[in-house]
Amino acid sequence: MAATAQPVPAYQRPPEGGIRRTLYLMRKEWTAYVSITPVVLLFIVFTVFTVAFSFYLSFHKWNILEPDRPFVGLENYARLFGDERFIRAIGNTIYFTVFAVPLTMAAGLLVALLLNNKIRLRGLYRTLFYIPNITPLVVSAIIWKWVYQGDYGLLNYYLIQLGLIERPLLWLADPNLAMPAVIIMSIWGGAGYQMVIYLAGLQAIPEDFYDAAKVDGANGFQRLIYITIPLLNPTSIFLFITSVIGSFQIFTQIYIMTSGGPLGRTSTIGYYIYEKAFRHFDMGYAAAMGYALFAMIFVFTIFQLRFLRREFEY
Amino acid sequence: MELAKRIQPTMTRQEQEQRDRKAASNRQLTALLGKIAIYVVTTTLAIIFIAPWAWMVSASFQPIGDIFDWPPSWIPENFTLNNYTRFFEEANIGRLVLNSTLVAGSVVIAQLFLNSLAAYTFAKRRFPGRNLLFVIMLGALMIPGQVNLIPAYLILQHVPLAGGNDILGNGGHGWLDSYAGLIVPSLSSIYGIFLLRQYMKSIPDDLIDAAKIDGAGHFRIYWQIVLPLCGPALAAMSIFTFTYHWNDFFWPLILITSESLRTLQLGLALFVVRNRTVWDIVMAGSVIATLPILVIFLLFQRYFIRGISLTGMRG
């Protein structure tokens, strides 16, 4: 504060009530607004404006290469329902989400439970499980493309050695195996993150709970089912919601490993939007798809927050 | 054991002792077996998790003929650095690394300042609209990137007086295909503000009030008192941000068309698309693209983990 600032006389109190008080506080704290201005400006330009403009685009036939961009009303949205590739992309995205999210969480929880024991080299184990998570997705996708190779891939070799399959499988070229392959790769890449969050959650559970249960004669498995998992519920909800939102947008793995193939079996919404917007430059239609995705995520999140929170409150 | 004694009074003292010992050794055995089981399962899983990654490193040092061997050879028989030298020759690696470092580095520096100042303001100052604004910004995290994508692209294309544009933003390519396009949209991040705000909330208000009484203004309190206390959170945020932008593929893919502006991930991905079968060089490139992040991770692991749990637990 500058030394020349006048001391506020005692009788000059902040005005009572409503707008005048708000204005007074705004004037008094004006530097607060200055310090968030850059952040708010970026937010307005790259979030608020883009969301609004995307909405506008979705009602227009907007191709970046054509100067004429007529208003078409709900045509883009109507087109969605008749677009087989879009409907299949939704199906593929849901397929991916339904398997990848719970399995990644289960893997993360399993590893966290293992590492929550007093074992040697815990730090080393934790690092090993976390490394796939920091590996750039481009690199992960390249590695797994090799792992899945039909003739000389690692996975086929070890599955044959274990006697699980007889002939090499063409993982990424087989329409029925391509999506499972992408899912396995995503579990590998994501479990480390879930593990760290679950470990933090596990360490927050008071030891007393377990001692009490031991006195009551609960065995290890019962302690897991009746204490650990319910008490981890807030962590699980957080992980579930963020993972589902993330998996609705899956792109890089698809781009590098399968390019949406074979036969469109791995074309997800994220990938299809990219194709429409930046290969065909059909931006109005792509914006409508973006909004459809947004609507799905929105409904899902609201549903989860209402349903899960209430269900497991204790 | 007291209970057992009372129930079976006919047992001799010797028998009882034997029984106790047996029970105790049984318990020890179970505990030991449990411990062994945990080690076996954990180690097996760890090997499975690290195997694909370890194979990348191993393959990057093998000549192409050995890479195709069945069974796969995990330890390079004919160790070679040839893959690396060839990747260096073919992919203009210096430029790719420079671009990635420049973009990720600038974003981190900008976010360190802008995010922390905003976080301080949201955590420690009271002003009309604060909570509403913060909730709106947090809520916006739910919006999928695909919604903002196309307009953001168009905005960058029409930045006035940039990239051959006139004052109305028409005629040229604007900030598409430029460093500015890669950097400017990420100068701040809501996620980073949130992380820092959570941390700053734990700094006692008394400290700030004391500084106010001593005549310090808000900027000085932020700069000289709060920031120095936020070391771990700032480190965590920097590492996240750097990793995210170093690893980012989508935004460069859309924005960049000139070869000289490609980032490492984009260069690597396009290299793979162009040369589908040169696995030896691709593996060397993959190692190079991962190395900086791995080093950062190993050096600052604890900040990483703390940062994740800091945001993770609050939901």
Q: What is the pLDDT of residues B299-309, one digit of tens each?
A: 888 777 777 66
Chain A residues with CB under 8 Å of B46 CB are: 125, 128-129
Is this complex scored with an ipTM above 0.95?
Answer: no
DSSP secondary structure of A263-291: TTTT--HHHHHHHHHHTS-BHHHHHHHHH
Q: What is the pLDDT of residue B315?
A: 34
Q: Do A142 and B52 touch (CB under 8 A)?
A: no
Which residue of A lies nearest to B143 if distances are taken between CA atoms?
A: A294
Task: Pick from A111, A142, A193, A249 the residue to mutate for testing the B interface (most B CBs within 10 Å).
Answer: A142
CA–CA gap between residue B283 and residue A92 (Å, rounded): 30
Domain limits, chain A: 75-311
* pLDDT tens digits along B110-135: 999 999 999 999 999 999 999 999 99
A152 touches chain B (CB under 8 A): yes
For residues A303-308, give the mean pLDDT.
75
For residues B25-48, give the mean pLDDT.
89
Task: Note which residues in 196-255 of chain A have CB less than 8 A from chain B.
Answer: 196-197, 199-201, 204, 234-235, 237-239, 245, 248-249, 251-252, 255
Q: What is the pLDDT of residue B202?
A: 85
Quote the tokens at residue B183: 């950097």
Handedness of CA B89, B91, B92, B94 (dihedral sign): negative
Quote the tokens at residue B9: 């009074």
Q: What is the pLDDT of residue A72?
A: 86
Nearest residue, CB atoms, A277 vs list B142, B150, B289:
B150
pLDDT at A2 over 50: no
CA–CA gap between residue A189 and residue A175 (Å, rounded): 22
N- to C-terminal Cα distance for chain B? 47
Please state which architecture CATH assigns to domain A75-311: Orthogonal Bundle (1.10)
- Among A202-211, A283-292, B300-309, the minimum mean pLDDT is found in B300-309
Neighbour count for residue A1 (Cβ, 10 Å): 10
CA–CA gap between residue B23 and residue B125 (Å, rounded): 63
pLDDT at B52 over 80: yes
Q: What is the pLDDT of residue A15?
A: 66
- Nearest Cα neighbor of B258 from B86, B92, B118, B146 is B92
Q: Do B272 and A53 touch (CB under 8 A)?
A: no
Please tell me the distance in Å from B21's CA to the nearest CA on chain A: 21
For residues A105-130, give the mean pLDDT.
91
- Give the homologous superfamily in CATH for domain B90-314: MetI-like (1.10.3720.10)
Q: What is the pLDDT of residue A313?
A: 44
Chain A residues with CB under 8 Å of B156 CB are: none
Q: Do B218 and A134 touch (CB under 8 A)?
A: no
What percentage of chain A has pLDDT greater than the value 70? 92
Q: What is the pLDDT of residue B311?
A: 62
Looking at residue A2, what DSSP letter applies? -
pLDDT at B68 over 70: yes
Write down the mean pLDDT value for chain A: 87
pLDDT at A42 over 70: yes
Q: What is the pLDDT of residue B181?
A: 94
